[in-house]
Structure formats: structure tokens, C-alpha cells
Structure 1
Amino acid sequence: MKTPMLNLNVSRLLAALALAGLAGQAAASADAMVFPVAGVFWNAGNTAIDQRFMQSQDIGQLKQQVKATLEAAFAGRIRALTKQSAANTFAVSFHLTRMAAYYAPKADGNYELMTPVTGSVYFTNVATGEILFTTTSTNAAAALLPAAVLTSGGKQAEEDKLYAKSLAALIAQLGKQAGADFQPKTIETTVTGQQNGLLLLSSGYRQGIQSGDSLDDDQSQNIKVVYAAADYAVARIGLADAIGTGARFHKFVVGKIDGRLRPRATVVMDQVPEGFSADYLTQLFSEELAAKAPLTMVQVNPSFAGLLRAVVQNADLSSSTTSQRDTPDLIVRLRVSDPIQHETNTNLGFQTKRGVQAKAYAELIDTSGRVLFAAAGHDAQTIDVVRGLDLAPQARREIAIKNALLALAQKMGEMAEGQPDTATVKRADADGVLVATPNQVYANKAPGYVLHPTQFNIGGKSRSVLFPVYEAVAGARNGADTALATLLPLGKGQPAVQAGDVFEALRLGTAPKSATAFTLCPDAESLGSVKTPDFENVSSVALARAMPGPYYAPEVRQIADATIHAGSGFSAAIKWDVPTVALCVQPVQRVDAGAEECGDTCQRAMTARYTLRQRKDGAVVAKQGLEGNFKSTGYQKSSRAGDVSKLILQDVLDEADKLMGTLATKIVLPTTN
């Protein structure tokens, strides 16, 4: 990787900014205020919410409860929301994401009913669409019920009582939690110059200003950052009148400011376990990922349109004074499979052994559809159950899924911070633009910027800054050079690209071992008597971690576009530029179980063979296989056949993780597509 050219003048630029008194700063802010929004927001299509119960509630009473709770939690920090105050006043709102009812037997013959209800509080800048901060919590009310209630008409009434109790307690709990957690800091920056409608700012990502940020001044004028270098940034005017040199803008941050490059990313749900909602899982994972990975998480509020309507109706603000946020740079595709649950007998008649295993998978994908990084999270529990007394199986399932998501966020946090990767423009003429890349390879369609050395007067001295003039993507390689494609000007009247300009892309994630691009074939093949759970997920993550070449997942476009659109607070859909890839890798499985072998316990001898076929134009051009032989976990002969099958599936999944992880590192892609 070459040293980024844009850092050559950093020390001198910083010195100039410091002399001019323009360096960015962060401090505790007393200016960030809130506007409580009365009501409970929820998605009417969310099957993880008891819609019948919610529709039966006194909405006016719920609104009053939320309003009173938030007003108490933010006493002294509440302000009317107007066009003038919108930049520093956040709409704080309560959103319901999940409800459930769990029954567990007790020793006295009764049943314990628990009703976990989960919600989030959002802090939204309705003028820009940005969600500054979210906090999520669950409250579970409990009651002891006679067994007869489960088979009588009173079951629903008992659940409704506890749902109401859980919801009321959750509103109070989340209000208090949000009031304590919302401690924003301000990051300030100054306009130090202008060029063709774009603004040069005195702070970059080291000071906490990131590409995609929305910044405001004290009059609620808004600008949007289109590019961030280490110690300076460039913005375009959003909702604002004329802006001159010396104007100061700010943004609010909740949490630490660590000086890292943090591209914007949004989680989209591709696989949801039964009984859960995409809203709930993406919210939980996004909050954890924000704390672990070098990313700026762009939250999606499915109720954004409803929130905006409620705010406009109750604030001195019109919809014409609101804008929408830019789309994220990256997508995190999240897949959570149904946990494997089983209960087998032991040699003690009063005791059984319960097991539950949950898996979650995530892939970081850019706007070319290329997978940059991937990981899997895992949780497995084994519980000795005496006389059937344990948490409800659904509760165990929920615990396992949450733990798998926490483990996944931890794994994603192992990804190294992204770095700018630059190459100098060698030639720019009627035949196109070529950058010199003798010792580096850009993935096809890798998004980036063309930077032009531009003179600015900073602190009374003339300074040269690498200033972004075009968005561009890397194209075909031509010997030791790489062509640039899809040049889109930033601002008006930008100079033509010329030799000496710089192309900069983001280097993030796992580096490909070759330049040959591939996708995952859509038709994984299953042979044998046993099917590996999550086979496509396991295969995809294994290939992404081994990264034999640039790995593309073009199918993510449809999933992301269903989440990221104007209705969820974005200015538009993502601008995709996905290459055509001729080579795909087809995962093939053949898993067989031998005869049952019993002594004190029973086992089955298992054979698992996995193959990765490389296909081009429908023909197999190469393949690599790996076989493993293992014994299943032991079980009592008296155990139910269905539970034994699930126990074996858990063993197969564990073996597949190991074998596919090894196999993916062994494949070598052809030198050309």
C-alpha cells in the first residue's frame, strides 16, 4: 500500500490552522436540547409485536405517559422545535420493537408467565434526518399462574395484563436510561476556503469529522461533508444561504471521539429467525457494532415517516424545512438463523439435557457489491434440567440469539481501521484516465475520489491541498496502470482531470489474494443423507475470510434498497455500480450418518465432505474438496429421534465451520476471469 499523498502537507496544514485558530475541537455541550414526541411508535407489519394488544390500548393515555416520562427525564433540557432551533434540538421518541410471552413450569405445578417487551428511544435531527443516538432496553413482567389458565379462555387476558405492565415499566425504564445516557459533545469546524461551490473545513476524521456527516451552524444552516481527510474535510451546502470563509459549523457526538477513520455503514437484515423482528435484531446489533468496529453506524428508523408527521404537527416546523440524509458508504448484511434446540434423556429418569445453539453472520459490503470483511458469531448452551424445571425454551432461544449477536459484533470489531489508498493520475485524455498502479491492485468498481492539488489562503499563507473534484470508480487494469470510470463532478465547474491528480479509495477489510473476482453461485448442491444447517452462510463467510480474490455479492442490492430509501429518511436509494463477474464458486456438501453404535450411550459415525467448485459459463473449471470423519455427541438410546437428529445437526454445523474455513483457504482462482 502506498503512503497516501494527501498526508504530505498535514503538519504544515495543521500548523496553519492552529495559527488561524481554526482547528476542530470537542467539548461537553450544554446546547444540545430535546423535543419530546408524545406517543409509542411501532411497525404495524411487525409480526413480533402483538398487534391486537397494541390496537386495543388507549393511545391517548400512552402518549401522555411517554410525554410525562420524557419531560421528567430531560427536565431543563427541553426546547421548542422550530426552524431556528432545529440544528441543536433533537426529537426524542419511543419505539416498540418486540413483544413475547414465555411459559415455564414450576415445581408446585403452576406456570410462570413472562412477557419481555423491547423498545428503543431515538434522538433524531428531523431537519437532516440523522439519528444521533439510540438506546434499547427490555422489561419483562412475571406472574405465577395455575396450569388450568393455559387451556382456558383466560390465557389471553393474563398475557394482556402483563404486556400492559411490561410496557408501562419499559417506558419509565427507557426514559430514565435515555436521560442518563444522552450526554452529547460538540465537534466544531471552520470554513477556511471555497472552491466551485464546495467548502474547505478545518477539521478531518482525526478531529471527528467524517465523510457523510451533516453539520449545522447556530442559525440551523446545514452543510454535508462529501470528503474527509485526516485533518481537513470538504462539504457541500445543504439547507443554507450564502456561507463565507470563517463560518463555524458543528455536529454532536454521543460517546468517545477516537480520531479513527469511520466510514458510514447501515445494517440490513437478510435472514430473521422465527418470532423475531428485523427491527429488533438490527437495532441490537447496530448499537453493539458501533461500540466495537471502526464504523459510523447509520441507524434506520422504519417509523421515520410517522415520526416526521408527528413532529411537524406538534412543532413550529414545516416539512419544507426538513432534508434527508445521505446514503451510507457500506452495508452490513446480517443473517441470523433459527437456533438448533434439542432435549435428550440422561441415565437419570428425572433429568434431561437441553441444548441450544445460535449462529449469526455478517458481511461488510461496499457500493460495488464487494464483500470487504465477514464474521460469524456463535453461542451454545447445555442445561441439565431436573423434573422439567427450567426457563421457557423460547427464553433460552432468545438468550442464545442475543449472545450470538454480541459475539458477532466482537468479531466484526477485529477488523482493522480503514486507510486511504492512493495512486497518481498518469494520463488523462480523450482515451480516458489512467492511474499508475505498478505495486497495487484496486478491485473492479472500487469507489473513490479524484483529488486535485488546489491553492488556498489559510492563515494568511498560500497552501496546497488535495481537494476532491470528482467521484470515480476503479475500472479495468491496463498493464501496470488502472483505468478510472464513472467520473461524477463534485460541485460545479470542476477542472478536467489531469496528470498529477490523485485517485483515492478506501482500503478496508480482508485483502484479496488475487485480482480474479468471483461470486457465490446461487445453487449450492446438497448430497448425502444429512443437510448441513446454514450451509450457504457458512460457505459465504468462509470464502470472505479466506478472500482468494475480490468477492462480490450483487444480490445485496435488493435487500439494501428495501431498507434504504426516502421513506426511512434517506435522500435516495444507494448509487450502486456493480461489475459483471463471470466466475462463481459453488459449495457442495455430502454428509452421511453411519449406523447407530450404542454402549453406555449411543453415537453415530459421521462423514462430511465439502467441495468448492469454480464455475464459468456453466462449466466447472476447477474444484477443491475436503473430508472429515467424526463421532456425534453421545445420547441415551431412549431419547426422542427428532431431538437426536437436532443434536447431530449441531455437530455437523460445528464440523462444517472447521472444514469450510480450511477448504476456503486452499482454493486458487484462475488468473483471468
Structure 2
Amino acid sequence: MPMLVSAWANANIQIYPSKGIFGLEQGCRTDPSKYEANGSSYKANGSSIVCDFSQAVDNEVIRKQAEQLFVQGLKQNFGEQVVDTISQKTKSRTYIASLEVLRASEYMVKKDSTTEIFLPVTLSIKLTNILSGEVIYSDSATLSQPIQVLSSDIESATTKAAIKQQFQSTLLTLTQQVTQELKSKLKVSETETQVIDQWKSYLVLDKGFKQGIAAQDELSSTEGDLIRVVHADSDYAVAVPILMQGNSKRFSKVSTNTRQAMNKPKALVVDVLTYKSESEQGESEDLIEQIFSDAVGEQASFTLTPVNRRYSAMAQSISEQTALAQSEDINQRELPEFFIRINVIPVIAYQQQIGKMTQQQVLHSEVFAEMIDRSGRVIYSAHATDDIKDVFSEGMGFSLEARKEVVLKNALLKLGQQFQKGIQFTRSDLKVSSSSGHNITIDDAGERLSTGMKVHVYHSDKAAGRNILIPTWEATVLERQGAKVTAQLDFPVNSSDRLPVRSGDRILLDSSAPVGDSKQSRVLCPSLPTEQVGEIPFDGFGPLIYHAFASQSKRPFYATGSSFKGQTLLKDSVVAKTENTGFKKDMNVNFHIPKDECLQPVLKIEVKQDSIKCNADKSNCDATLVMASGARIFNQKSEKIGAYGLQQEITLKGIDHQHRNEMYNIQMFEALPKILNQIVQKADSSQ
């Protein structure tokens, strides 16, 4: 067998079709008693699936049809590689194919006496390693097939039956589509390597990242043995046994990554904040993550680590469907080097009359994302926006809900592209200068290590006639004194070997820029939420000032302080995302929280007294907003020790009184970034 092959037929793997469709177990959005005017959508409990869809596919016949189409499509494309059982011997080479409904919506466009009801559904397909939970392929497809009815028949039984039938047809069509596209889109390679030496209990392999072997890869043998790569150099790799029942020497891995992706650091999306309440509809978090991930693409300097949130349920289901029992070789994945959080502000949208027969839709989307290292420090923060202004004849346009999806997708694509182009990593090679007990001292004149960062210690030695690096310990950076950094040894990389750390041992890490002095770090005060005063509701201030400090300040900024409304704390979101998705159960997730000082964002916004001047029907008003924004500084005793801030008046013209809050919000999103950047510069210069 060639060392690296691209043809699917040569990849000696199996596909097991999972029974059932995931995503339907979540709650659904119930229908309102009546359809509203153009631009409305069904709203209920924040689910991304309407109850009409859930009820339509809660049908044994339809589900059986979908399952049959799924299996038939897989077998037509992959033949005997599709199996209906998994054994202990084949489990390491078996990938579970599963379907999941990410979104099912309905909205309408009235056209005089008739109404078009749009029924978009998004279905995803994943291939998941049943042992590790690693997703090697993920794709989705959306189909929206409208039905046309008389406006007077919207509530009729005939219309409800037509909606049900269309949803059922869409599910079956999408099942065929994603299954057929799997064959053409999936580019699978299989890399084979062999053990050429052993250093203590570590295994030395004859292939490295240039040949397709990467750190954290799990390799299997034909006998069912399993090993994990703990370090990959250009032409060799070092692995530790996970499950060794025999004496296998040849191992292989299946991957959809290109060789160029093998030596890139890995990142995991751990949180998608959408501000959904129980009375609001919002995009599926899975769909948001998928759009962002697709935009980041393969050209980025890092590789996204996809997870299957249904992994635990899937593994349990598979063990019940087959003879495969849960065993010690699952839940073994390690945390990646970096985490990503995405923050999606609810789309601002309104529709207004601008002529006797003409209407205008205005939509504005704001999205944020940050990359965080293992210490909790923000190493990159991005902010993207998108606007849509549509003018159309009355009653002829798409609904606001339909356009919301478009403007949000556009903003997410811009956000992902910023991550692709804006983050560049360099490999640092640092030396251990001394070791005492569980503490080590590292030389770091380039300021690459930050307090709380997790690093690996490497020992240099010879094996198989070459110099190799062996990762021996994971350690946590404690403090910095000039160019010297103290770190604490946490636990050995290989529990079979507790090796001493010696002067000259090395620290390898990927970093994007010098971290600066950790004693000057900033964080949002954990016990003091953002203070916002004023009559205008505005969700954007917290994310905007957070992004300003994270992206513009010269001082390190940590993501370990207080969270925004509805957001999970960083530690909790990492635990939640990695729980039941194949990662180790006993991981001690701890992040650094700067203690010396913290920030409390503050915003006061009001309409200037007597500044509002309107025409007779209040469709055209002028107003002045008075906005005071900034941050208070507190010390570790929770005593206020200072503040940074600016006050500014914003003159607004052409405000429609009916949509004044939406218009105010758009203007504040446009004005605040420059103001907040000035506040950050002021804060940096005052230190």
C-alpha cells in the first residue's frame, strides 16, 4: 500500500450508517395563533426547528424512507465499505455516517391575493470516528421549496397539509443530496507508518508531518491496536500506546486534511453566543459554526477541530445496535492549543414605507470572534459587519427573517476570512535553564510565554540513528521575572514514564506575537457585569469594548473574566464542548485570571433633552444622542482605582419614530468603535 493515497477505494476503512436523524430531539418553535404581516416568522422557544417540521417528520414511514435513502446512497457510492456491524477488530477503522437537522424554518411573502410560504431546511452529514469522536468530514445543504396558497387559506387544513408534505419531501431530497455529494467532496487519504525504534515506553515512527502524521493523531493497526502521536517532526513522529493487545509494528491513519495542514496548531470553537431568549428565533449555533468554519477554510495558519455534539448519544446507540461495547479506548482526545468563541449580535432589522406603493427593508449584522490560548489570553479578536437595504413594491419582497439569514451569513463569511488572513503563527524553541522539584525555569527573552499558559517539555535524545525530541511533561507557566519564566510541572505526557526535567530540555510552542508583561494584564471584573444606563436597549456595547481592548491594547487581555448576557464562562464552555465528544474525562481545565486589576465596562446613553424634532406623522425626525462610554478600574480588593472614558454627542437625521431604537442601534454600532479605540489608547498611555 502506498504511504499516502488519495483515492477513497484505497482507504481501508468502513462506514456504518447511524440509524435515525439527530437534531429532532430538541424542542421546537410552536406556531403563533396567526401569521403576522410580511417580515414575520414563527417565534417561540428559541429552537432552530419549527414544530410543523418536527410533526411532519415524526412519522415512522417518512423516517424509514429517509433511512433507506441514506443507506442506499452510501452503498451506491461506497459499496462493500458500508457495513451493518462493527467488531472489536474493525472499530478503529470504522466511521459513523450520521444525519442532523440544523435548521427548519418557515416564513411567508404576501402577494395581493396569494401568499408564498418558504420552508427552508438545512441538513448536515458527518463522518465521525467512533473511538475518538474526531469528525473527519462535515457538510450541510439547504433547500427551500415554497408553496403558494390563497392568502385567505393560510390557516386552512389544506395549507397545513401542504406544509407537512413539503417538509417531508424536502427532508428526503436533502438526504439524497448530501449523501450523493459525499462521494465527490470527500477526499480521503490513508497514511501508513511503522515503528522503527522504542525510547523507554515511547514508540518512534518513521513518518512525520511532511508525510501526513500530526500530533494528536490516533493510529490503528490491522490487529486493533491503538496509539496516539504526541510529537510530529518533519520526518519522524513519537507516539504513546493507548490500547496495545499485541506487538503491532505497522499503523495507519485516515484523514481528509492536506499535508499542509498537518503541522498547524489546532483550534476548537467552544462557544457561539446568539443572545436567544425564549421568545426569539435565532440561527442554529451549529449552522453559525459551520458557516464560520467554511470561511476560515484550509488556507488559515491553524486547523479547526470539528466535534460531533451527538457523539455520546451516537456511541451509546452504536453499542446497542452492534456488538461493540464501550471500552477504555474511547474518550482519549487531548485539548487543542487554542479555543475560539463567536459572538453573534441579534440582527437589527426593520421595514418601512418610503412611498405610496414602495417599502424598504434595512438589515444590519454585527459578529465578533476571538482566539484564546490555553492560558485564557486573547491572542486575536475580530469584528465584522454587513448591511442590506432592499427597496421593493409593497407586498412583493422577501420576509425580514429570510433577509436576516442572508445578512448574518455575509457577516460570518467576512469574520471567517479575517481569521484566515489575520492570524499567523511562528514556532518558538525555548530552553529550560534549571529545574527544582516540580518547578522549572525557562529562558524566554522574546516574551512568548504568558502566565497560565500550558506548555510541553521536550527531552532531546537519539533513537533509530537520529536526534529526536520526546515530550515528557505538561507544565503551567506561573510567573515571569524579566527574561526568566517559572513553570510548574503538572503531569507526565506518558504515565508509564515519570522522567526528570534537565537543564537544556526544550519548550516548543506556536505563538502569534510577544505576550507582553503578564503583570500588566487586563480582564473584565469577574464579579462586576457591564453597567448600562439609558432608555435605549443596546446589546452591542459589551462586545464592542471587549473587542477594543482585546484587539487594540498593547497589554495582554484575558477572556477569563465576566461574561456577556447569556454567555457561558470560558472554563465552563470548554468543559461543556468537550464533555461527551470524545475528549478525556479527567482533564483539569484551568485558566489564568489576572488579579492585580480588572475592568468594568460602563455605558450611559440618552436622547438629549428637547433635541427631537419630527414631521407631523413622526416618520422623519432629527435627534441628538448623548453617549458616555468607558471602563472603571478596580484592584484585587474590589476598590475602584480609576476610570477611562469619553462623552460624545451623535446627531441623527431621518429617524422614523416607529423604528427609532433600531436606527439608534445602527448609529451606535457605527460611532462606538472609533470612540472605544481612543479610550484604549488613553488607557495604555496612562500606565
Q: Normalising by structure 1, what TM-score?
A: 0.87
Q: Which whole-Å CA distance do the structure 1 matches of 2:457 and 2:642 have between them?
A: 39
Q: Residue 110 of structure 2 aligns with which residue?
A: 105
**What's the CA shift for 1:494?**
3.7
1:160-179 pair list within 5 angstroms: 160-179=164-183
Q: Could you tell me which amino acid in structure 2 is paired with residue 572 of structure 1?
A: K
Match of 1:584 among 578, 589, 598: 598
1:442 is aligned to 2:449: yes
Find the residue that maps to 2:464 and give its secondary structure: strand
Q: How many residues get paired? A: 637
**Is the contact made by 1:597 and 1:603 (CA closer than 8 Å) also made in structure 2?**
yes
Deviations 1:290-321 (A, max 9, x none): 43533332222222233224433444533338
* Residue 319 (str. 1) matches residue 331 (str. 2): no
**Cα distance between partner residues in 2 of 1:226 and 1:185:** 21
Q: Residue 648 of structure 1: SS of its match in structure 2? A: helix
Q: Which amino acid aligns with 2:630?
A: T
AA at the equivalent of 1:444: T
State the partner residue of 1:13.
Answer: none
Q: In 2 relative to 1, CA 43–663 (structure 1 residues): closer, same or farther, beyond 3 Å? A: farther
2:218 to 203, 214, 228: 214
Q: Residue 254 of structure 1: which of 243, 253, 256 is its match?
A: 256
Match of 1:613 in 2: 632
| Aligned position for 2:367 | 360
Partner of residue 552, structure 1: 558
Report whether the alignment pairs 1:89 with 2:94. Answer: yes
The answer to whether 1:623 aligns with 2:623 is no
Alpha carbons 1:222, 1:240 under 8 Å: kept: yes
Aligned to 2:623: 604
Is this contact kept in 2: 1:115–1:141, CA < 8 A?
Answer: yes
* AA in 2 matched with 1:541: H
Once the two structures are aligned, what percentage of the paired residues are identical? 21
- For 1:406, the equivalent position in structure 2 comes to 413
Measured after TM superposition, the shift of residue 511 of structure 1 is 4.4
CA drift of 1:382 comes to 0.7
Deviation at 1:351, TM superposition (A): 1.2
Question: Residue deviations 1:327-370, cap 9 Å, x none?
Answer: 43232112222111112332x22112211112222122233222
Contact 1:293 1:409 in 2 (8 A): no
* Match status 1:387 vs 2:389: no
Q: 1:498 aligns with which of 488, 492, 502?
A: 502
The residue that corresponds to 2:149 in the other structure is: 145
User: Following the alignment from structure 2 to structure 1, what is the Cα–Cα distance between the partners of residues 650 and 126?
Assistant: 49
The aligned residue for residue 48 of structure 2 is 48
Distance 1:35 1:154, change over 3 A: same
Within 5 A, what are the aligned runs for 1:228-243? 228-243=232-247
| Contact 1:360–1:405 under 8 Å retained in 2 | yes
Q: Is the 8 A contact 1:206 1:230 kept in 2?
A: yes
* 1:116-195 alignment, distance < 5 Å: 116-195=120-199
* 2:654 counterpart residue number: 634
Q: Which runs of 5+ in 1 are unaligned?
A: 1-22
Alpha-carbon distance in 1 for matches of 2:216, 2:139: 22
Q: Secondary structure at the match of 2:335?
A: coil
Q: Indicate whether 1:397 and 2:397 are aligned.
A: no
- Does structure 1 residue 36 correspond to structure 2 residue 44? no
* 2:312 counterpart of 1:305: yes
Moved more, 476-485 or 304-313: 304-313
User: Alpha-carbon deviation of 1:48?
Assistant: 1.8
Q: Distance in 1 between matches of 2:318 and 2:453?
A: 39
Offset, 1:109: 2.1
1:426 to 416, 420, 433: 433
The residue that corresponds to 1:14 in the other structure is: none
660, 665, 671: which one aligns with 1:655? 671
For 2:349, the equivalent position in structure 1 comes to 341
Report Cα offsets for 1:60-92 as digits up to 9, x if no partner: 333223222332343464346433333443221
SS in 2 for 1:381: strand
Distance 1:48 1:205, change over 3 A: same
CA distance in 2, matches of 1:237, 1:606: 64
Measured after TM superposition, the shift of residue 534 of structure 1 is 1.8
- Deviating more after overlay: 250-259 vs 310-319: 310-319
Deviation of 1:217 after TM superposition, in Å, equals 2.9
C-alpha distance in structure 2 between counterparts of 1:230 and 1:652, whole Å: 50
Local SS of the residue matching 1:622: strand
Letter in 1 for 2:169: K
Unaligned runs of 5+ in 2: 28-46, 561-568
Q: Which residue is equivalent to 1:17?
A: none
Shift of 1:155: 4.6
Contact 1:470–1:487 at 8 Å: present in 2 too? yes
CA distance in 2, matches of 1:208, 1:659: 48
CA contact (8 A) 1:511 1:547 kept: no
* Pairwise CA distance, 1:471: 0.8
TM-score (norm 2): 0.85
Question: C-alpha separation between the residues in 1 aligned to 2:350 and 2:586?
Answer: 43
Superposed, which structure 2 residues align to 1:451-530 within 5 Å? 451-458=458-465, 463-491=466-494, 492-508=496-512, 511-512=515-516, 515-521=519-525, 522-530=528-536
What is the CA–CA distance in structure 2 between the aligned matches of 1:598 and 1:441, rounded to whole Å?
Answer: 57
2:650 and 2:638 map into 1 onto residues whose CA distance is: 34
Q: 1:558 to 1:396 in 2, by over 3 A?
A: same
Question: Are the equivalent residues in 2 in contact too, given 1:34–1:78 (CA < 8 A)?
Answer: yes
Q: Describe the shift of the 1:592–1:613 C-alpha distance in structure 2 as closer, same or farther (beyond 3 A).
A: same
Higher mean alpha-carbon deviation, 443-452 vs 517-526, is at 517-526
2:203 aligned residue: 199
Contact 2:438 2:489 in 1 (8 A): no
Residue 385 of structure 2 is aligned with which of 378, 384, 409? 378
The 10-residue stretch of structure 1 (660-669 or 575-584) with the greater mean CA deviation from structure 2: 660-669
Deviation per residue, 1:124-171 (Å, 9 max, x gap): 121332211111111112110111222445553332122112111111
The one-letter code sitting in structure 2 at the alignment partner of 1:596 is I
Q: In the TM superposition, what are the counterparts of 1:55-94 in structure 2 within 5 Å?
A: 55-58=58-61, 59-75=63-79, 77-79=81-83, 81-94=86-99
In the alignment, the residues of structure 2 paired with residue 510 and residue 184 of structure 1 have an alpha-carbon distance, to the nearest angstrom, of 37
Q: 1:206 to 1:378 in 2, by over 3 A?
A: farther
Structure 1: distance between partners of 2:18 and 2:661: 51
Quick check: 1:331 aligned with 2:339?
yes
In 2, Cα distance between equivalents of 1:109 and 1:303: 45
Aligned to 1:7: none
SS at match of 1:578: coil
AA of the residue aligned to 1:603: D
Equivalents in 1 of 2:649, 2:206: separation in Å? 61
The reply to whether residue 268 of structure 1 matches residue 258 of structure 2 is no
Deviations 1:230-259 (A, max 9, x none): 544322112233556xx3333222253325
- Shift of residue 187, structure 1, vs aligned partner: 3.2
Tell whether the 8 Å contact from 2:448 to 2:511 is kept in structure 1 after alignment.
Answer: no
The answer on whether the counterparts of 1:118 and 1:137 sit within 8 Å (CA) in structure 2 is yes
The verdict on how the C-alpha distance between 1:667 and 1:175 changes in structure 2, with shifts beyond 3 A counting, is: same
Contact (CA 8 Å) 1:149, 1:155: kept in 2 or not?
Answer: yes
Q: Would you say the 8 A contact 1:212–1:328 is kept in 2? A: no
- State the 1:520 CA deviation: 1.4
Q: 2: CA distance between counterparts of 1:548 and 1:122? A: 41
SS at match of 1:623: strand
Match of 2:21, SS state, is strand
